[in-house]
């Protein structure tokens, strides 16, 4: 019996030693551990704890865990923690503590109550796991998902989330918020001339300036390229007051953006255009607000840039109407709903010398659509290319028909060519192909170019003009004096005619400046050996003045309005 008892005691002792060994190994695991008594006095910590916190065992023994507090959590946080421990026997969660060197760090803390056989808590075991690296990785992922990597500003995703929250808050407090969309003026030019690195430098500096114009509760976001959004919240319950605040902030932004930038070794100037829309609650959807701010921003661009414009419902109606017109324009190109009218051009002897071909759109429902409405749209959408080709083909075919009429075979026909059309790579080849297919006499065709197209690649302009001029086509510089006028370029261009713009002719008898400009244009044309024609001539007095200074050709209502083909042919028989 005694032997059996000895064996049993030896077995129990061995089990106890194994348990102690396992506990010791577990205590010295990679997780920091702390054991306190029931009062929270630290009795022991392991090696991982000292490595993580920087405290030695001697420095913490006899103290409480309060020496680790970061100060980030209030008294309610700790009250709730201990209430849970006392009720359930444990607690787990993320907490910020402070190392011995003062550095704050996040950790996953698990606290377990250790109880005796009677269920009385005798100790607490705290397991501390440093999650600094995990938090850094999470923050990096968050930054990639919600922040623009170049500027550090919120991106579109985070902006939309904050806008949702702002709209909900506005719904509760009745205060207006505002959305501003900002686009840099001529930013593409920076990338093209200075390179994308300089462009990125400019965007970063713009982001910093926008942040300086706003408060911490506001949002400045970069949503695309050189487009930024500024969101202000909690402005006022009064719409007018909210609008005034918005205007003040927008003005401050425009002023700061116009201050010169130092981009590397270069000083650069830039401006911005801002569109503003107010919101309160959920009266408009997020998509509508963004669209409204964008529309207003484009209105600011149209106003001359470096400007701010507010959205209004009438603006949206105009945009909807414009979209419908653009759709109809596409259809009109396919169905050839266009026709040409002809405005007579008369020499100083009163005889008809030719006409200018003017396109008209005869819409099946809208009736006659003004060129002022659809030509700019055709330019913007690229539809000017097929439309311009149709005009050229129709004009040349008409010249061929007139060539068989004794009183019309001498007439020239001027056709306007847009910058986008002329700069197209295949323009010259296209015109030559039309000459061949129609059999028109090239000497009867005159192409009217604008000063604006001379700014872009003058060498290409001259090359194309020379190719066509060798075939007999004449060139007139339209609206002369209203755009970019360089005498250096002008003397290099193979022109035949200058056309005095009607804005000068209109006031030539009452405005000394317009009269002076008109005299200068005529003198310049004569010195360069060019013909000159004045458009917009409406009175005999205007024509007499023009004749006195040497102008020998005229176009305007004094002679005739633009006429349909049939009416023009009747008009031509009078001469």
Which residues of the chain are in CATH 3.30.70.270 domains? 148-311
The beta strands (E) that lie in 468-520 are given as 474-480, 497-500
pTM given for the model: 0.55
Q: How far apart are CA 291 and CA 286, in angstroms?
A: 9
Say if residues 171 and 282 touch (Cβ distance below 8 Å): yes
CATH among 3.90.550.10, 3.30.450.20, 3.40.30.10, 3.40.50.300 for 21-136: 3.30.450.20
Any idea which architecture 148-311 has in CATH? 2-Layer Sandwich (3.30)
Among candidates 226, 224, 217, which has minimal Cα distance to 156? 224
Positions in the chain short of pLDDT 50: 1-11, 13-26
Helix axes 239-257, 196-212, angle to 10 degrees: 140
pLDDT number for residue 29: 58
pLDDT of residue 483: 55
| Span(s) in the chain for CATH 3.30.450.20 | 21-136
Per-residue b/e over 252-289, b at no fewer than 16 CB within 10 Å?
ebbeebeeebebeeeeeebebbbbbbbbbbeebeeeeb
> How distant, in Å, are the alpha carbons of 273, 354, 451, 483 from that of 304?
9, 37, 20, 16
Q: Which residues of 470-503 are buried (b: 16+ CB within 10 A; e: fewer)?
A: eeebbbbbbbbbbeeeeeeebeebebbbbbbbbe
The pLDDT assigned to 339 comes to 96
The CATH number, out of the four listed (3.40.50.720, 3.20.20.450, 3.10.105.10, 3.40.50.300), of the domain defined by the range 332-572? 3.20.20.450
Burial class of residue 243, CB neighbours in 10 A (0-12, 13-18, 19+):
middle
**Which tokens in the block code for residue 272?**
């911005």
What residue spans in the chain does CATH classification 3.20.20.450 cover?
Answer: 332-572
* Helix ranges, 123-228 (H): 132-146, 156-173, 187-194, 196-212
SS3 percent helix, strand, coil of the chain, rounded to 5, is: 50, 25, 25
63's tokens: 């103290």
């Amino acid at each position: 019996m005694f032997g059996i008892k000895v064996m049993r005691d030896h077995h129990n002792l061995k089990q106890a030693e194994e348990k102690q060994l396992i506990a010791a190994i577990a205590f010295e695991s990679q997780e920091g551990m702390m054991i306190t008594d029931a009062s929270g006095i630290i009795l022991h910590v392991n090696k991982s704890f000292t490595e993580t916190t920087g405290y030695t065992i001697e420095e913490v023994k006899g103290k409480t865990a309060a020496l680790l507090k970061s100060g980030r959590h209030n008294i309610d946080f700790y009250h709730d923690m201990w209430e849970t421990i006392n009720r359930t026997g444990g607690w787990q969660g993320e907490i910020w503590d402070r190392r011995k060197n003062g550095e704050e760090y996040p950790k996953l803390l698990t606290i377990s109550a250790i109880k005796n056989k009677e269920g009385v808590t005798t100790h607490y075991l705290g397991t501390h796991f440093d999650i600094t690296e995990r938090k850094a990785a999470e923050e990096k992922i968050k930054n990639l998902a919600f922040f623009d990597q170049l500027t550090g500003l919120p991106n579109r995703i985070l902006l939309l989330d904050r806008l949702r929250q702002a709209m909900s808050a506005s719904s509760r407090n009745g205060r207006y918020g505002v959305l501003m969309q900002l686009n840099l003026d001529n930013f593409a030019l920076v990338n093209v001339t200075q390179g994308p690195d300089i462009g990125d430098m400019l965007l970063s500096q713009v982001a910093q300036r926008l942040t300086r114009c706003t408060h911490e509760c506001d949002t400045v976001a970069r949503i695309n390229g050189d487009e930024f959004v500024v969101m202000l919240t909690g402005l006022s319950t009064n719409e007018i007051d909210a609008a005034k605040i918005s205007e003040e902030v927008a003005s401050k932004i425009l002023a700061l953006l116009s201050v010169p930038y130092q981009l590397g070794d270069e000083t650069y100037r830039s401006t911005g255009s801002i569109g503003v829309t107010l919101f309160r609650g959920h009266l408009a959807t997020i998509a509508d607000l963004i669209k409204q701010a964008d529309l207003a921003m484009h209105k600011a661009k149209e106003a001359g840039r470096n400007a701010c414009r507010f959205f209004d419902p009438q603006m949206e109606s105009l945009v909807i109407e414009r979209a419908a017109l653009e759709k109809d324009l596409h259809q009109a190109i396919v169905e050839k709903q266009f026709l040409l009218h002809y405005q007579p051009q008369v020499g100083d002897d009163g005889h008809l010398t030719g006409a200018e071909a003017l396109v008209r759109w005869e819409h099946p429902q809208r009736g006659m659509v003004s060129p002022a409405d659809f030509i700019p749209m055709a330019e913007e959408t690229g539809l000017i290319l097929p439309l311009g080709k149709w005009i050229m083909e129709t004009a040349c075919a008409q010249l061929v028909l007139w060539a068989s009429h004794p009183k019309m075979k001498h007439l020239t026909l001027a056709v306007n060519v847009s910058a986008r059309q002329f700069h197209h790579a295949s323009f010259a080849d296209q015109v030559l192909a039309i000459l061949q297919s129609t059999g028109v006499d090239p000497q009867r065709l005159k192409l009217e170019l604008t000063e604006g197209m001379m700014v872009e690649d003058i060498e290409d302009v001259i090359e194309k003009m020379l190719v066509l001029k060798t075939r007999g086509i004449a060139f007139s510089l339209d609206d002369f004096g209203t755009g970019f006028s360089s005498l250096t370029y002008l003397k290099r261009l193979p022109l035949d005619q200058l056309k005095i713009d009607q804005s000068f002719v209109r006031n030539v008898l009452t405005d000394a400046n317009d009269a002076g400009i008109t005299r200068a244009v005529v003198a310049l044309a004569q010195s360069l050996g060019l013909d000159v024609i004045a458009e917009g001539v409406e009175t005999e007095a205007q024509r007499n003045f023009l004749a006195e200074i040497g102008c020998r050709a005229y176009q305007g209502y004094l002679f005739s309005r633009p006429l349909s083909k049939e009416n023009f042919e009747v008009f031509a028989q009078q001469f």
